[in-house]
Chain A
Amino acid sequence: MTNSIPEFEENTNCFFVIGSNTSEGHPLIATRMLKAQKRGAKIIVVDPRKNQIGHWADIFYTFRPGTDVALFNGLMNVIISEGLEDKAFIAERTEDFEALKTLVAEYTPEKVAEISGVPADGIREIARTYAKAKPAAILYAMGITQHTTGVDNVKSTSNLAMLCGNMGIPGGGVNPLRGQNNVQGACDMGGLPNVYPGYQAVTIPDVQKKFQDAWGSAGPLTVGLTVTEMLHAAQEGKVRALYVMGENPMVSDPDLNHVRHCLEETEFLVVQDIFMTETAEMAHVVLPGVTFAEKDGTFSNTERRVQRVRKAIEPIGDSKPDWVIICELAKKMGATGFDFASPSDIMTEINALTPSYGGITYARLEELGSLQWPCPTVEHAGTPYLHKGKFARGLGKFFPLEFKEPAELPDEEYPFTLTTGRLMFHFHTGSMTRRSEKLDSEVPTAYVEINVRDAEKLGLNGDKRVRVTSRRGEIELDARVTDDIKRGVIFIPFHFAEAAANKLTNSAIDPVAKIPEYKVCAVKVEIVK
């Protein structure tokens, strides 16, 4: 997030929520938005389903999955043609505005209505509400990113925010709501194939040298493989060993039949986890790690806030904290530089090598509760919102972007568009929440949401068992008939291994971010006799 959650309640006058079911995915963020709504802030939601936050929105429209770029261009078309853009901000802080203006001129509300399914007057209503309500915040989640045009979608959000001068101010910004407790931290710490901790690129020789000097040895100057690419490489025999810590690709990755095949081809699979997950069942060696309650450490939340994790109980059975396991393995392989007495010791090394975490020490976290990066020194108070006065790159760049269709569109054989997502009661692949009695009893298994008129056409009288099939696989599950989802679109939560939505999803990826297109694929629906 460029901005901070407390600002939502205090400063934000308009929330534009797209591709996020905030009240289910991030309930305590939604709480702050609803408090802001009480003092008059507007909530705009656009989503293929009338999700829970959609029911509380001041303005809500459904739209066709994967048409985000067209929708943003349409909004900017209205803002520019009605003179609602922030001219001073554009002149002082941005570049390439003319190119953007020329491109979005083509995207009239009428044309975008045809592409997206949002009526032309609805596009005008959203555009005017957002543009006139400074500071306005854009909030999104995987509904924006999990597309073959994911990078274009994200750039579109920043185009709109800059157009209205909503960057570098409290209560504004572009705010990706991250799904996992420490997905931000895993990225910050270099759990990515192209960067060391602090987003220092592996391709820069000076960076490589810095880490060679610190560690004695470092990675090559070439970018490594992403998770989707690793699995393909395993199938081809190029990757022979895969070490998985606390992840469950056998439920979370797209096109699961293919994932199973790839993991079967992996010569040596090590899984370090707390439960016998679907992935661990396939492993050659399973190492028992511990939960958050049995270890010390830190997590970094979606607004870059670093906070302490504190050990409450001893490890269960013979399990060990994950940091201890890694240190013991490294030492077994003869490595030096893994003699840490505690996570606090590890943080000291992180402080020295990661500029944005330079001042985030355990002593300060004990005193202050949390610190938001960038926090380069122990004197620095942390950074609640980014891009104040100046963007990291200098001027903010507008990207003129043409709309591109998703990789797989519905056709005669597969007439529905499947979109996947999360529920309030469950988390990711369900390995924790489905073992929590109360959460499990709320939603014990998978279901598919289908529009009431589509259901009538299929002869689904009331909720029934259906089979959903894509080009990659099929699953059987109960149907839930609703008028809260757009016609032609069905929704399946992906938490449930027994009817895994990801058996159906398409592994087509964004060419830059390599993110799979979970949010759009073509399927058919049949009643199970």
Chain B
Amino acid sequence: MIEYKSVLTTCPYCGTGCTLHLQVLDGTLVGTLPAKEHPISQGGLCIKGWNVHAFVNHKDRLRTPMIRKNGKLEEATWEEALGLVAEKLGEFKAKSGPDSIALLTSAKCTNEENYLLQKFGRAVIGTNNVDHCARL
């Protein structure tokens, strides 16, 4: 028995915001189809949009947290990696003040994630050193 579904979502490339259907076969992305009813794309997609599924399963995807040890990035658990980040950020905040820490949010991530990271920077760290690549 194969399991197929199509999921309506928004393209992650440019700022036009075409929606598209991701085709999922047995839990893996296998293709992309345009969305006919969309007010902008009206059933069209550009070549990037048609290929939007192609990078998701790429062998280069990061699959596990990593920590630099003796100059080299080595695999770690989430517990170790987040524990180290929390400890270091806490240490810099205490020793050098909140403004010794800076954060880049992301034009690729969702609204909710951007909201959370700037909230983390402002409410938990206590700095306005928050920016992203809007200018770049």
Given A185-B114, A319-B61, answer yes or no on A239-B135 (Cβ-Cβ < 8 Å).
no
Interface size in chain B (residues, C-beta < 8 A): 97
Look across to chain B and name the residue whose beta carbon is closest to the beta carbon of A442: B47
Q: Mark A207-238, 1 if CB is under 8 A from B, else 0.
A: 00001000111111011111110100110001
Q: Mark B71-112, 1 if CB is under 8 A from A, else 0.
A: 001000010011111101110100010111111111111111
B81 touches A291 (CB 8 A): no
Q: Which of A309-343 contact B (CB under 8 A)?
A: 309-314, 316-323, 325-330, 332-333, 335, 337-338, 340, 343
Other-chain residue from B17, B28, B44, B47 in contact with A181 (beta carbon distance below 8 A)? B17
User: Which residues from A are CB-within-8-Å of B11?
Assistant: 181
B123 touches A335 (CB 8 A): yes
A191 touches B60 (CB 8 A): no
Q: Mark A338-352, 1 if CB is under 8 A from B, else 0.
A: 101001001101100
Other-chain residue from A191, A228, A322 in contact with B118 (beta carbon distance below 8 A)? A191
**Distance to closest chain A CB from B28 (angstroms):** 7
Q: Mark B55-67, 1 if CB is under 8 A from A, else 0.
A: 1111011111111
Q: Which of A182, A196, A294, A322 lies at the interface centre, i.e. has the most chain B CB atoms within 10 A of its CB?
A: A182
Other-chain residue from B38, B44, B110 in contact with A343 (beta carbon distance below 8 A)? B110
Q: How many angstroms between the C-alpha atoms of A141 and B106 in the bound complex?
A: 19
Q: How many angstroms between the C-alpha atoms of A439 and B51 in the bound complex?
A: 8
Residue B36 at the chain A interface, CB threshold 8 Å: no
User: Which residues from A are CB-within-8-Å of B57?
Assistant: 316
Residue A406 at the chain B interface, CB threshold 8 Å: no
Given A6-B39, A312-B24, answer yes or no on A427-B116 (Cβ-Cβ < 8 Å).
no
Residue A27 at the chain B interface, CB threshold 8 Å: yes
Q: Which of A175-190 contact B (CB under 8 A)?
A: 177-190
User: Which residues from B are CB-within-8-Å of A192?
Assistant: 130-132, 134
**Distance to closest chain B CB from A363 (angstroms):** 15
Residue A247 at the chain B interface, CB threshold 8 Å: yes
Q: How many angstroms between the C-alpha atoms of A32 and B56 in the bound complex?
A: 29
Q: How many angstroms between the C-alpha atoms of A432 and B54 in the bound complex?
A: 9
**Distance to closest chain B CB from A529 (angstroms):** 34
Q: Mark A442-455, 1 if CB is under 8 A from B, else 0.
A: 10000000000000
B54 touches A439 (CB 8 A): yes
B18 touches A28 (CB 8 A): yes
Residue A56 at the chain B interface, CB threshold 8 Å: no
Residue A270 at the chain B interface, CB threshold 8 Å: yes
Using A227-B104, A227-B131 as known contacts, list a sample of 5 further A-B pairs with CB atoms less than 8 Å apart, ordered by residue number in A.
A27-B16, A242-B101, A247-B107, A317-B63, A335-B124
Top 7 A-B residue pairs of the complex, sorted by shortest distance between their CB atoms: A317-B63, A301-B17, A297-B110, A224-B128, A246-B106, A191-B105, A178-B15
**Interface positions of A (Cβ within 8 A of B):** 5-6, 25-29, 31-32, 145-146, 177-194, 196-197, 202, 211, 215-220, 222-228, 230, 233-234, 238-247, 249, 252-254, 267-268, 270, 273-276, 280-281, 283-289, 291-303, 305-314, 316-323, 325-330, 332-333, 335, 337-338, 340, 343, 346-347, 349-350, 369-370, 424-425, 427-428, 432-433, 435-439, 442, 513-516, 518
21 sample A-B contacts, Cβ–Cβ < 8 Å, listed by A number:
A146-B135, A178-B14, A180-B133, A182-B108, A191-B132, A193-B128, A217-B124, A241-B101, A274-B62, A288-B65, A291-B55, A298-B111, A299-B111, A301-B16, A301-B40, A307-B19, A312-B9, A327-B116, A343-B112, A425-B47, A514-B135
